[in-house]
């Protein structure tokens, strides 16, 4: 299996949210109904959800089977590989360094990684740190190419991208590229003189008490805590294959995190609540650009590692998140500024937009309830 065949890490493709019907104590739980439909109608092996209200009350739900080989139950709020939700974490660390005066968003990447970015139409002195976080650097996306899934060092991933021509001049267009966030992680290491994993753990994970979130150590292919198995289907009609254990280094700062739905809710709520960034940096993170709707769905806009999506059940409002894709797992979700948060995970990557829209609708029903 290759990275390209595994549906390149972490693109959130969400359909436009739709209003959820009002519920009463006697009506069925729409989130639980949605999870059951994902399993019984869409063929997901398992589906998990966590929903938090503004008072901090959390509900977790599961459906399906956690392990097809043994028939084990789905662990409640089990750990999964959360893919490109990692990008939001990476962007937070970079913006914290900006607040500390250790770098600027308009610094050229070449100032921090001299001589690294050179290629056909690629100039590290023309690409700014902001371009990396906002996904408008023009750098090729290394996961689009046929790379074996094995252990990689971050520079290996960048070198794959640099073999290809730039997609456009920096800042002129928007295009999703995992290469941008590998470079952001490398800048974190250069500026702090610590590992990316150490800075992420100190600045984000421990700071807000994410007890079930971690960045896997080099060559660690396992998932530490209770988790559902993750599966892929390599072609239509083929049996599902267990890919739970995998060296995730091919995603690094773009998508290597392991977490739970509840921890993601805590992260996005803490972020929007100002617990991770000062107001100037949070405002920058939420300053969005056009162009992301073709990738993330109608009305979507991309900030600095953060995606806004319309919430039609509350006209004029949006929710903020990112979502992630990793072989064996899909996660979708986000939070609103008034304290609602919801995340949903399924244990195989949906192969069609219709199924993916059903995952998104569970999130929307949870946020609109």
Catalytic residue among 84, 262, 269, 308: 84
Cα(299)–Cα(315) distance, rounded to whole angstroms? 13
| DSSP secondary structure string for all residues of 246-314 | --GGGTHHHH--EE-HHHHHHHHHHHHTTSSS-HHHHHHHT--BSS-HHHH-TT-EE-SS-EEEE-TTS
For residue 143, give the DSSP letter: G
Cα(141)–Cα(128) distance, rounded to whole angstroms? 17
In contact, 65 and 74? CB cutoff 8 Å: yes
Question: How far, in Å, are 200, 255, 363 from residue 173 at the CA level?
Answer: 29, 23, 29
Q: Which two three-digit tokens encode residue 32?
A: 């639980």
Q: Which two three-digit tokens encode residue 336?
A: 């609103």
Closest CA to 35 of 354, 277, 343: 343
Q: Which two three-digit tokens encode residue 3?
A: 């990275």
Cα(63)–Cα(359) distance, rounded to whole angstroms? 13
Question: How far, in Å, are 89, 225, 254, 289, 348 from residue 327 at the CA level?
Answer: 20, 18, 14, 29, 7
Annotated active-site residue 249? The verdict is no
Widest distance between CA atoms in the chain: 64
Cα(163)–Cα(354) distance, rounded to whole angstroms? 35
Q: Vertex 97, ends 338 and 114: CA angle to 5°?
A: 135
Catalytic residues: 84
């Amino acid at each position: 299996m290759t990275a390209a065949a595994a549906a390149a890490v972490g693109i959130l493709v969400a359909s436009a949210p739709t209003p959820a019907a009002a519920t009463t104590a006697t009506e069925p739980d729409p989130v639980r109904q949605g999870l059951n439909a994902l399993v019984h109608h869409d063929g997901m092996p398992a589906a998990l959800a966590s929903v938090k209200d503004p008072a901090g009350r959390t509900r977790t739900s599961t459906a399906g089977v956690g392990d097809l080989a043994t028939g084990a139950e789905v662990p409640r709020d089990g750990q999964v590989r959360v893919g490109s939700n990692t990008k939001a974490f990476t962007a937070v660390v970079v913006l914290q360094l900006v607040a500390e005066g250790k770098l600027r968003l308009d610094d050229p990447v070449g100032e921090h990684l001299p001589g690294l970015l050179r290629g056909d139409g690629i100039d590290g002195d023309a690409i700014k740190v902001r371009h990396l976080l906002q996904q408008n650097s023009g750098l090729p996306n290394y996961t689009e190419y046929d790379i074996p899934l094995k252990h990689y060092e971050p520079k290996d991933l960048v070198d794959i991208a640099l073999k290809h021509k730039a997609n456009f001049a920096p800042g002129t267009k928007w295009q999703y590229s995992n290469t941008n966030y590998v470079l952001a992680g490398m800048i974190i290491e250069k500026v702090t003189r610590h590992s990316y994993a150490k800075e992420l753990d100190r600045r984000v994970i421990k700071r807000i008490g994410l007890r079930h979130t971690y960045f896997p150590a080099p060559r660690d292919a396992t998932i530490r805590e209770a988790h559902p198995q993750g599966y892929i289907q390599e072609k239509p009609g083929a049996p599902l294959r267990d890919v739970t254990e995998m060296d995730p280094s091919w995603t690094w700062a773009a998508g290597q995190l392991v977490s739970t739905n509840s921890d993601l809710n805590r992260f996005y709520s803490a972020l929007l609540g100002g617990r991770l960034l000062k107001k100037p940096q949070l405002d920058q993170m939420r300053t969005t650009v056009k162009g992301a709707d073709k990738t993330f769905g109608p009305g979507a806009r991309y900030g600095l590692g953060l995606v806004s999506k319309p919430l039609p059940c509350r006209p004029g409002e949006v929710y903020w998140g990112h979502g992630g894709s990793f072989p064996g797992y899909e996660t979708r979700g986000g939070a609103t500024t008034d304290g609602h948060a919801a995340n949903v995970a399924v244990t195989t990557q949906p192969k069609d937009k219709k199924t993916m829209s059903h995952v998104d609708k569970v999130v929307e029903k949870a946020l609109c309830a």
